[in-house]
């Protein structure tokens, strides 16, 4: 049975770190800087993901789940009568889901497109019909506390008048194109569900930014009643948006709602917000790839540094290894001392790295730095979160890999003949 206690192994390993202080410090700094580089980038991407998920759920108004007839997204525009949910279906489904746990809102939606005219010129628009109260509820939680405090992105908020269904909100770019004044009149020309042309006068209630340069000159927001009127589809909706009280409940609730609808005889397709937000998925995928790339590079540098440092340490202490073996330490004990030393070095390095991360993060977050991301219309603040999950993952992986990096030279030294080790100069 191995008898050299873990506490003694740690003591010997810890003291071992103080032998060549300069080398230990350089290795420790390499680990610390590598760790903080990973943790800061992870925190930056975490902030982006979190902002983008809020943007998709509340800003793009995707909610957490979207219910529609299968095929609606592909062929709904061609055959709306086949794919729209009628008033009876909308009411039944809403009734069915209203009392489900975690469900905060069920909002019927109707999207359409057409031409918007100021009387002299026309341009295309993409419109979304939604009940004003649902719009307000859907946008709750769009901003972080910091954004609310600083008023960042407040131009992205949308509002519809529940008493005047003809009042619409237009995106800033669209208003600029047609030079429409607030409270000014415009005409919306669309095709109805049956393919007839239909036009209605609308009043500009306000403007908003979509946050996306590609849609900021096309988007319009109208009340559901106006949309149904224009589309000649009273009570109809092309989809139902479900807002939950917790984003973590998205997948469990999808399964639960699917089961409830199936029991009630409805065959509906349910998509989650991250399936529908292609922009979120693309950005997430891109940053995940960059993170993986940076992580691999940093991990390689750290492991090489630890392996080099421990390799030199083991060589320098070969005679001591011979002495310890001679006075009764088993081969496994030698390996354990050096792997523990490497683990301690990594632990201290990661601890220092965490401290650097917290300080740099604080500095960045109070520095009020902002930038305009690609395809965006407004500046975004540069903020860094603490991504605990990836910090723990980095620490565990670095600990394992750095310990393994010490294992090989330590095993080689432990397997040396004692007389050779003692004779080592």
Residues that bind other proteins (CB under 8 A): 3-5, 8, 12, 15-16, 18-19, 319-320, 322-331, 333, 417-419, 422
SS3 105: strand
Q: In the structure encoding, which two tokens stand for residue 8, read together?
A: 């003694």
Residue 393: exposed, middle, or buried by beta-carbon count in 10 A (0-12, 13-18, 19+)? middle
CB of 17 to other proteins, least distance (A): 9
- Only one residue has tokens 């030393």, namely 341
73 versus 330: smaller Cβ distance to other proteins: 330
Q: In the structure encoding, which two tokens stand for residue 309, read together?
A: 């440092």
Choose among 265, 252, 299: nearest CA to 394.
299
* End-to-end Cα spacing for the chain: 32
CB of 329 to other proteins, least distance (A): 5
Pinpoint the alpha helices (H) of 198-239.
224-230
CB of 423 to other proteins, least distance (A): 9
9 versus 277: smaller Cβ distance to other proteins: 9
CB of 102 to other proteins, least distance (A): 55
11 versus 164: smaller Cβ distance to other proteins: 11
Q: How far apart are CA 412 and CA 338, in angstroms?
A: 11
Pinpoint the alpha helices (H) of 55-119.
72-75, 80-83, 87-98
CB of 319 to other proteins, least distance (A): 7
Q: How far apart are CA 339 and CA 406, in angstroms?
A: 5
Q: In the structure encoding, which two tokens stand for residue 128, read together?
A: 């979304």
Total Cβ atoms within 10 A of residue 8 = 12
259 versus 417: smaller Cβ distance to other proteins: 417
SS3 144: coil
CB of 396 to other proteins, least distance (A): 29
Element (H, E) at 215: none
CB of 45 to other proteins, least distance (A): 42
- Only one residue has tokens 């009273």, namely 234
16 versus 205: smaller Cβ distance to other proteins: 16
Q: How far apart are CA 215 and CA 208, in angstroms?
A: 11
CB of 18 to other proteins, least distance (A): 6
């Amino acid at each position: 049975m191995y008898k050299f206690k873990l506490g003694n192994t740690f003591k010997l390993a810890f003291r071992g770190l103080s032998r060549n202080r300069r080398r230990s410090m350089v290795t420790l700094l390499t680990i610390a800087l590598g760790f903080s580089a990973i943790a800061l980038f992870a925190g930056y991407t975490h902030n982006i993901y979190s902002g983008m998920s809020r943007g998709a759920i509340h800003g793009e108004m995707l909610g957490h789940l979207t219910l529609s007839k299968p095929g609606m997204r592909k062929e709904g525009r061609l055959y709306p009568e086949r794919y729209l949910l009628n008033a009876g279906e909308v009411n039944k489904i809403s009734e069915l889901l209203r009392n489900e746990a975690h469900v905060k809102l069920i909002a019927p939606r109707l999207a359409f497109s057409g031409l918007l005219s100021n009387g002299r010129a026309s341009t295309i628009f993409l419109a979304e019909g939604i009940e004003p109260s649902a719009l307000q509820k859907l946008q709750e939680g769009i901003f972080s506390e910091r954004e609310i405090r600083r008023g960042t992105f407040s131009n992205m908020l949308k509002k519809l008048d529940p008493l005047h269904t003809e009042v619409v909100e237009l995106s800033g770019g669209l208003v600029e194109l047609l030079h429409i004044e607030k409270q000014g009149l415009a005409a919306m020309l669309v095709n109805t569900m049956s393919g007839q042309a239909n036009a209605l006068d609308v009043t500009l209630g306000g403007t908003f930014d979509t946050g996306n340069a590609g849609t900021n000159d096309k988007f319009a927001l109208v009340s559901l009643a106006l949309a149904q009127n224009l589309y000649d589809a009273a009570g109809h909706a092309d989809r139902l948006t479900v807002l939950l009280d917790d984003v973590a409940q998205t997948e469990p609730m999808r399964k639960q709602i699917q089961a409830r609808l199936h029991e009630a005889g409805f065959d509906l397709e349910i998509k989650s917000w991250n399936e529908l937000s292609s922009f979120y998925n693309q950005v997430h995928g891109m940053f995940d790839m960059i993170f993986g790339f940076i992580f691999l590079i940093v991990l390689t540098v750290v492991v090489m540094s630890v392996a080099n440092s421990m390799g030199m340490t083991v060589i320098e202490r070969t005679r001591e290894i011979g002495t310890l073996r001679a006075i009764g330490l088993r081969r496994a004990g030698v390996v354990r001392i050096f792997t523990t030393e490497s683990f301690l070095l990594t632990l201290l390095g990661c601890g220092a790295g965490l401290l650097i991360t917290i300080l740099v993060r604080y500095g960045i977050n109070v520095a009020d730095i902002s930038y305009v991301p690609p395809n965006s219309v407004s500046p975004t603040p540069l903020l860094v979160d603490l991504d605990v999950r990836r910090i723990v993952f980095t620490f565990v992986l670095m600990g394992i890999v750095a310990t393994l990096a010490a294992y090989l030279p330590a095993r080689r030294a432990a397997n040396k003949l004692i007389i050779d080790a003692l004779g080592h100069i």
